[in-house]
Amino acid sequence: MSTNVIPLAGVIGSPIAHSKSPRLHGYWLKKYGIPGHYVPLHVNSDDLEDVLKTMPRMGFVGANVTIPHKEHVLTFADVVTDRAALIGAANTLIFREDGKLLADNTDGYGFIENLRQGVPGWSADAGPAAVIGAGGAARAVVSALIEVGCPEIRLANRTKARSEALRQEFGTKIQVIDWVQAGNMLEGAALVVNTSSLGMEGKAEMRIPLDGISPDAVVTDLVYTPLETKLLAHARSIGCRTVDGLGMLLYQAVPGFERWFGTRPEVDDALRETMLK
């Protein structure tokens, strides 16, 4: 990055007004006194390619990508990291100084880092993981769990074909469980993860019977509105170690900020409070 240019980054999506990323990166820019800016960018699918070509010429060093461009953006990238290719989607772009566009996916990193910070000593090889949901977020979670050595992933999704597609892609560590059996798969799981939108404000409630969860399990939910979902409240009430979903959102942003602005940012309590306001 040239020293006399103010670095810009942003989040590309449609709609974009609801994005929490400007607040997140804005907090770090201020905290570290970096003279950069991070802006929300409303971009329609038809304009995506042109926008990506123009951004580096305007001083952008990178961007986050959100719905509906996370998959499509891979088509325009010159370099796609292994993890983005495996997940089939990117959330972080870097406009490199050699003119190439690099596409990465940091959701899996954010997921694992959130668990490691929330449960010190957590290890993926403690036993089977039970994963609820098989949408876009589940792809990042499943691929990250396999990468860090999880021995078995039980996967239940309302639409079974989507869990079967994940098994096809990610292999035999994944055991596809019928949606009606989702409660049973929680028994003996060392890690329970909700990657579905169940339990999120404004979405359907989590109705899976939770009594199979062992008090020894670590339980985490990707949903962070509310911060304590019904799943997390139940898990906490029986003595499980629980980790909320806000941390994943914060940690997935760390690698991008570091690449764009040259400082590895810290996820601290004040940041969590800023995001919850």
Residues recognised as catalytic: 70
Is 44 labeled as ligand-binding? no
Q: Specify whether the CB–CB gap between 103 and 79 falls below 8 A.
A: yes
Rounded to a whole number of angstroms, the CA Rg of the chain reads: 19
What is the per-residue binding string for ligand NAP in 144-163, x denoting contact by CB under 6 A?
-------------xxx--x-
Q: Kindly determine how many residues on this chain lie close enough to bind ligand NAP according to the rule CB under 6 A.
A: 25
**Closest CB to ligand NAP among 55 and 222?**
222
Q: Does 181 bind ligand NAP (CB under 6 A)?
A: no
Of 222, 235, 243, 271, the one binding ligand NAP by CB under 6 A: 222
What is the rounded CA–CA span in Å between residue 235 and residue 219? 7
Is 224 labeled as ligand-binding? yes
Is 274 labeled as ligand-binding? no
Site for ligand NAP in 87-146 (CB under 6 A): 107, 110, 133-138
DSSP class of 42: E
**Closest CB to ligand NAP among 217 and 246?**
246
Q: Does 272 bind ligand NAP (CB under 6 A)?
A: no
Q: Does 248 bind ligand NAP (CB under 6 A)?
A: yes
| Token pair listed for 94 | 């870097």
Query: Cis omega before residue 226 (within 30°)?
Result: yes
Q: Does 40 bind ligand NAP (CB under 6 A)?
A: no
What is the rounded CA–CA span in Å between residue 74 and residue 164? 23
User: In terms of C-beta distances under 8 Å and separation of at least 24 residues, what long-range contacts does 117-121 make, across chains too?
Assistant: 117/247, 117/251, 117/267, 118/220, 118/241, 118/242, 118/243, 118/244, 118/247, 119/218, 119/241, 119/243
Is 160 labeled as ligand-binding? yes
Q: Burial code of 131-148, b = ≥16 C-beta within 10 A, e = fewer?
A: bbbbebbbbbbbbbbbee
List contacts with ligand NAP (CB under 6 A): 107, 110, 133-138, 157-159, 162, 195-198, 200, 204, 222-224, 245, 248-249, 252
> Binding site residues, as ranges?
19-21, 66, 82, 91, 107, 133-137, 157-162, 222, 224, 245, 252
